[in-house]
A and B are shown apart, each in its own frame.
Chain A
């Protein structure tokens, strides 16, 4: 089955700096790659997603890039703010074929220092 690896497990940045989280996946059939943000004691919430027919997607301060050949994708957060502090998860899915359920990475705890 699919295996998703995520790095780093913890990341500390100064407010205003950029943060980058990287994930690799194993199954070349995966074609949907979302990123979730989880605040303490809550369920994860989708912040951005990308499909395999697109190489990059942006939404204000966050962006995701996808390299299908290398089977890796990354989350970029610019101009970080203290409210960006949370645990971030990447995930992969085979989309409309095979099993649609998401396989998650192990998470990155981001801390933005004021």
Chain B
């Protein structure tokens, strides 16, 4: 089945550690996105990539980094510079040629201890 796979589903981290969240899609979509979800704040855009080897900062990129070496993969690293990393992280993808449906993964919940 085509879709987006995020892993891990739950992740615990100690303060000062970097962690990487995985996002893989087999939908042959060009564009991929990372959103952060906090209670009562909706979804906020962290980074997005319209094409391989290119990505742009979203609204809350500080303390995060990404790479896009393959079309299928868009991993997100939450660095120790992110002051409040505990959140639900959602990866999404869409065809870049038109604006249409975003397909979301099931999310990764990161908790900093």
Q: Which A positions have Cβ atoms within 8 angstroms of B?
A: 1, 4, 6, 9, 32, 34, 36, 41-46, 49, 89, 93, 95-96, 99-107
Closest residue of chain A to B102 (Cβ to Cβ) is: A102
From the candidates B35, B40, B105, name the one contacting A107 in the complex (CB within 8 A). B40
A1–B59 CA distance with the chains assembled, in angstroms = 9
CA distance in complex: A64, B43 (Å): 21
Asked if B90 is at the interface (CB within 8 A of a chain A CB), the reply is: yes
Determine whether the beta carbon of A93 is less than 8 Å from that of B99. Answer: yes
Q: Let me know if B107 is at the binding interface, CB within 8 A.
A: yes
Q: Could you list 14 further interchain pairs (A-B, Cβ under 8 angstroms) beyond the known A32-B100, A96-B98?
A: A4-B42, A9-B40, A32-B99, A34-B102, A43-B106, A44-B43, A44-B104, A46-B101, A49-B101, A96-B99, A100-B50, A100-B96, A104-B42, A104-B43
Chain B residue numbers with a CB within 8 Å of A41 are: 106-107
Size bin of chain B's contact surface? 20 to 34
Provide a sorted-by-A list of 6 A–B residue pairs whose CB atoms are within 8 angstroms: A9-B40, A32-B99, A41-B106, A43-B107, A89-B42, A103-B45
Which one of B33, B100, B102 has the highest number of Cβ atoms from chain A below 10 Å of its Cβ? B102
Question: Which residue of the partner chain, among B4, B58, B90, B98, contacts A101 with CB atoms under 8 Å?
Answer: B58
Which B-chain residue is minimally distant from A9 (CB atoms)? B40
Q: Which 10 A-B pairs have CB atoms at the shortest separation, nearest pair first?
A: A43-B104, A95-B99, A106-B42, A104-B43, A104-B42, A46-B101, A32-B99, A101-B48, A107-B42, A100-B99
B41 close to chain A: CB less than 8 A: yes
CB-CB < 8 A to A49: which residues of B?
100-101
Kindly state the separation between the CA atoms of A2 and B31 in the bound complex, as whole angstroms.
20
Contact between B99 and A105 (Cβ–Cβ < 8 Å)?
no
